[in-house]
Structure 1
Amino acid sequence: MNRDNDNAEYQPIRHIHCSDGSQLLLASTSGQQYLLMPMPEEASRVAPHHGLLASPSGDTILNSQQYACYPTGDSKMLAETLQAKPDAREAAGMACDIMEALLHLQLQQLALPNLDAEHTLVNPHGQISLLGQHAAIADDSEQQRHNVQQAGQLLYQLLGGRPYSSLALQKLRPDLDTELLQLCQTLLDCPGPAIAITRTSLAQLQDWLVRQQRFIRTEGNQQAALEQLLQRMRHSPDFPALSQAISAINHIGNADSERLQVLAEIILKDFSLTNKLLKVVNAANFSQFGGSVSTVSRAIVILGFDTIRNLALTLLLFEHMHNRSHAQEVRDVATKALFCGLLARSLARRSRMQEAEEALICGMFQQLGELLCVYYFRNEYRLIHKKISAGSSAAQAVQHTLGLSYATLGASTADMWSFPERIVSSLEPYPLGPVRQPQHSAARLRMLGNLANELTHLLTGPSGIRAGQVQPLLVRYERACALEANTLHEVITETQAEFANYLQEWSGEATPQGNAQHLKTAALGPHPDSQHPAPAAELEASYVHTTPATTSLLSSGIQDITTTLLGNYQLNDLLRMILEIMYRAVGFDHVLLCTRDPRQNTLHARFGFGEDTAALLPQFKIDLQQQDNAFCIAMERNVDIFIEDASAPAISSHIPRWYRQLDLAQTFIIFPLVLEKRKIGFLYGDKKQAHSLPLRPDELNLLKTLRNQALLAIRQKQN
């Protein structure tokens, strides 16, 4: 939408005088409103895309002034919304968005030219978007510091209900939390490097929000309903013993010098729990260490305290819940909870988060309220489902029947059982709208539990609506846990395999019923890679057996990369490590990293390993405009392609002419690097002779893991 002359497509509505002395122009065209922001006379940098930075749709010239055009959509200027003063939690949430956007810019060594209530948009969900992406200021530490102070002025305005002035915020809001007052003053003073203040303030804001939004602190009728339900459970003959056992395990803290011994003693007190735990430990999911485990103490030493503690808690709860006459109803909810926990753990592992074991508990306990209801309040549970059948939403039916939500019941019980605050707070559901990026461990656990819960609800819901809800879910969580659709399908498939093993190990049921059977096979919809098959079926890979040395070398290399990702590293150094691992482990003749040149829309080989690589690099160039070749197909559709014989009649038409002229290799493999639909490049490996690169499925998966680690490294450096 570039405009090169004065034209009437944009109809000015009014000039907006901003608090920093600049001006914006509100204009409309084709029934849509835009905020027009002046373009700088000198060249400036365009900030990288981020969900909290508004993107201009183009530019125009009006009255000899060039403007960047920002569509407002259903958003309003923050200045227009401040008349209805937000409460402290809403203000802190908006401040979180502002600080997250600033941190993104600071990591790119950029700053915004303007940051005030007029250059800030807010949508109906309360999410912030900052104007100025087109005019980012590079390498200006003073402007970055000024942005932090401007963010403090905005927070002052949000909390105080009036523009920033020398009047102390405490005078305007004597009721305000001291922590928020101090945080606002820190931003206003910015007593240190801008990026350090931004990072620390963002973490403090999110931590404050989590603590303020503890939803189990109920009042009035809801508190009375909660007390009544808890009292009914306490009077159940079996509940006190269960509570005592779970609380005893949760009270083992890091300060206990003999905590392994204490945990072993608690488990050994329950003969049934001991046998069940050892059975699970010796089953396939935990057998990677080899040999048979015959004692709880050895299980703790081998698998670790956290793993055995979480396994014991899970077994205690689920073994207890199966002992009822209405077992199938209980089993359906229990298996849904188990699947949700395994899914949360898989998501944590895929995202390289350290909280994987705790994520299992946080995921399972998303269903704790429903599990307690079906077990202890059978009549109410059936009434809830009658109301749902009559047309009520699930949330309404639960609230009207119990007087509170499943989440509140589950979190209150977990709190009573002495689960850590980070686990209890993880059970709080997210409101509608985008999910913020978690800045600390407790926030990550809440994000993992909620995402796993929403996915589990999708999988247990009507199959006809699942496919249409996947993309909105990915968009909702894109800032918190960036996942692509094909990765999500892979995570679910992995979880289903684990789930099937657990069902066999825990219950011994070869043919599970109800929810268990459904969750073993449910899918969100067609796998993205299956929706656009390659032009020739022969582009699909076929695999044969190779020696186990490849697997061992790849696994060791992946561990090395994982360790490197946790420390400080240079991106190019890490990418070279990945190429070297591929080169040594598989025995490629050449391995290359190719990256995209957006100006020419081409892919260029940057570095690699193999014979005469230096001479090969300048010749290895792909034109992305030529769509019908293996390299462009891999990039366009984000699919891995394995060519076993480039000279085969069905394949040769998909091999570009320049590649054939190089006479490089007859067998090669391409792993595209695509991050949030951005085509970054690909990893390439080849062998001279046709059919000379046999790969087993497990080896291919390890190579894919290396590619995913490359993407993770790129994402971390970009953030």
Structure 2
Amino acid sequence: MNMPVTEIKPEPRSLEEWTAMLRDRDMPIFSNTVRSVNNIIGDDKKGVMELASVILQDPNLTTQLLKLSNSIYYNASRQKMATVSRAIVLLGTEVLRELTLACSFLEAILSPTNQRRANEEIAQAIHAAVHAKALAIATHDRSPEEVFVAALLHNIGNISFWCFCGAKGDLIQALVKDGSSQQAAEKQVLGFTLADLGGSLSKAWNLGGLIEESIRKNQGAVNPHVGLVHLGYEVVEALREGPDTKQYGACLEKIAAVTKQPKQAVREALQKNTEAAAGIARHFGAHEASDLIRKEAGQPSEPETAEAAPMTDRKQLQFQILQDITSILSGRIDINLLLETVLEGIQRGIGMDRTLFALLTTDKLALREKVSLGWRKDSYTQKLVFNLAKIPPNLFFQALSNHDGCWLNPEQDAALFTAGDTKLVGKNPCFLMPVCAGDKPIGLIYCDRAYNHQALSEDDFRAFRHFVQQANIGLSLYRLQGREG
């Protein structure tokens, strides 16, 4: 009898192998998110719908992002944001890019196996990022969010390595303990420094821009944005040294000169930023990093308090999302925002695994995906196309002609689940309902629970129909506004 052989992955030896391992094996979710977000932000033809759909593919990322969006640091007005779509509209795409990259990065690295050194690196990054952003705002920089992300990911090589280093990390720390410098120890064990790894990861993830520029060793004529990133790290080092040291005094002088603020105001701002950084770390779930931020700045640890439980009541979430939809319908309608919010209401509010809105093609022979949530695809650019078969009628042809919506089951409605449909969506109980402009269907919304296989209910179907009806009301109002305009 042949015993199964467990594949032993070879330990990375070169800079290239370490980069590939972190990118593909240890942090693939972050890799995919960075690629998708950067593609959307860099394309003028893409907007809220595309960005929201990328975020909503990951329920954990969605939860963390909304939690931070509603924190006092990002949302001083305390306007409740129940949907990603509303968060993008209220906070702006640049802030959401900042939050998405930060949340997805920390989601990829935070785990119970993190050693103290990893938490120290995470604490330094979050702390420096908050100070750098505050400095950018104080100096009237146009891109404080870009400065925040660049500072957070400035030491990306260090953070990534210490989270997944294994025995190599122990060797480096042993050499440092015996008197070697940090860089010399890294070079001896790895053959390269962690700063080199950061630069390599930045290129592999195509982070580009200020992130990559701030990581480079030789700056030449320093970009003022890069200077703010580096100053954020200087602040953290100065706070670590203490308020009575020469380093702290020099840092205080530099910040006062850059911001044109009196030293006392700078001192107060540094304390306020440190408290904000500790709070943000805690929001990210980096509790040990939060305590380290306070400790290194000479502040007492925040007393442990029970965090508010995440909102799990679907009825409450449905109500809040419907309020957002009402707000959209009460003004000049952004049809893409409306449809995205409706889909988010179905996906999160009803608790679906997969939700999709598809538009009729011009020849009316197929439905082409416009936006989808929860579908496990290689790329967000991959679009599903559903052919409409009249004889015999298939799943989507049947649903398109039923304005009241369909609740279909592969056991009772087996004939509708044709081979072509099954290849694309499988055989799962599902809800379908046409999206109409007036009396004419222009597309269709589909949803199911293909992964957790939780039973659908009458309440779920009523909520689904109500959300789609809001989309239809919005389309009718949108057409009227177009005529009036």
TM-score by length of 2: 0.53
Q: In the aligned structure 2, how far is the partner of 1:334 from the partner of 1:354?
A: 26
- For structure 1, list consecutive stretches of 5 or more residues without a partner in the other structure: 1-223, 524-719
Aligned-partner residue type, residue 505 of structure 1 = H
Report the counterpart of residue 451 of structure 1 in structure 2: 231
Q: In the aligned structure 1, how far is the partner of 2:18 from the partner of 2:200?
A: 10
1:230 to 3, 19, 23: 19
Partners of 1:373 and 1:380 within 8 A in 2: no
Partners of 1:470 and 1:485 within 8 A in 2: no
Instruction: Give matches, 1:530-569, under 5 Å.
Output: none
Shift of 1:513: 6.6
Q: The residue matched to 1:289 in structure 2 has which SS?
A: coil
2:183 to 385, 392, 395: 395
Instruction: Give matches, 1:507-526, under 5 Å.
Output: 507=285, 509=287, 515-519=292-296, 521=298
- What whole-Å deviation, never above 9, does each CA across 1:281-306 have from its counterpart, x for those lacking one? 12222333343111100000000000
Distance 1:496 1:310, change over 3 A: same
Structure ranking higher in strand proportion: 1
For the pair shown, the structure with the greater C-alpha radius of gyration is: 1
2:52 to 261, 264, 274: 264
Report the counterpart of residue 612 of structure 1 in structure 2: none
Q: In the aligned structure 2, how far is the partner of 1:351 from the partner of 1:420?
A: 23
Partners of 2:183 and 2:193 within 8 A in 1: yes
Shift of 1:324: 4.4
- What whole-Å deviation, never above 9, does each CA across 1:252-276 have from its counterpart, x for those lacking one? 2343323221110000000111111
Aligned-partner residue type, residue 226 of structure 1 = L
- What whole-Å deviation, never above 9, does each CA across 1:285-331 have from its counterpart, x for those lacking one? 23333431111000000000000111011000112211242354433
Aligned-partner residue type, residue 518 of structure 1 = K
Q: In the aligned structure 2, how far is the partner of 1:233 from the partner of 1:522?
A: 34
Shift of 1:415: 1.9
1:504 aligned onto 2:282: yes
Partners of 1:398 and 1:404 within 8 A in 2: yes
- What whole-Å deviation, never above 9, does each CA across 1:601-651 have from its counterpart, x for those lacking one? xxxxxxxxxxxxxxxxxxxxxxxxxxxxxxxxxxxxxxxxxxxxxxxxxxx
Q: Once superposed, what is the RMSD of the aligned Cα atoms?
A: 3.1
Partners of 2:23 and 2:204 within 8 A in 1: no
- What whole-Å deviation, never above 9, does each CA across 1:227-249 have from its counterpart, x for those lacking one? 1321332452x423331122111
1:332 to 120, 123, 143: 120
Shift of 1:495: 1.0
Aligned-partner residue type, residue 295 of structure 2 = H
Shift of 1:377: 1.6
Q: In the aligned structure 1, how far is the partner of 2:82 from the partner of 2:297?
A: 30
Q: In the aligned structure 2, how far is the partner of 1:496 from the partner of 1:314?
A: 18
1:244 to 32, 43, 47: 32
1:316 aligned onto 2:93: no
Q: Percent same amino acid among aligned pairs? A: 22
Instruction: Give matches, 1:206-221, under 5 Å.
Output: none
Aligned-partner residue type, residue 516 of structure 1 = I
Shift of 1:479: 8.3
Q: In the aligned structure 2, how far is the partner of 1:487 from the partner of 1:393?
A: 37
- What whole-Å deviation, never above 9, does each CA across 1:156-214 have from its counterpart, x for those lacking one? xxxxxxxxxxxxxxxxxxxxxxxxxxxxxxxxxxxxxxxxxxxxxxxxxxxxxxxxxxx
Report the counterpart of residue 94 of structure 2 in structure 1: 306
Partners of 2:61 and 2:104 within 8 A in 1: yes
Q: In the aligned structure 1, how far is the partner of 2:40 from the partner of 2:181?
A: 40
Partners of 1:249 and 1:309 within 8 A in 2: yes
1:416 aligned onto 2:196: no
Distance 1:341 1:418, change over 3 A: same
Partners of 1:363 and 1:452 within 8 A in 2: yes
1:293 to 58, 61, 81: 81
Distance 1:230 1:287, change over 3 A: closer
Q: In the aligned structure 2, how far is the partner of 1:477 from the partner of 1:403?
A: 37
Structure ranking higher in helix proportion: 2
TM-score by length of 1: 0.37
Report the counterpart of residue 708 of structure 1 in structure 2: none
Distance 1:226 1:488, change over 3 A: farther
Report the counterpart of residue 365 of structure 1 in structure 2: 153
Q: The residue matched to 2:216 in structure 1 has which SS?
A: coil
Q: The residue matched to 1:287 in structure 2 has which SS?
A: coil
- For structure 2, list consecutive stretches of 5 or more residues without a partner in the other structure: 1-12, 301-485
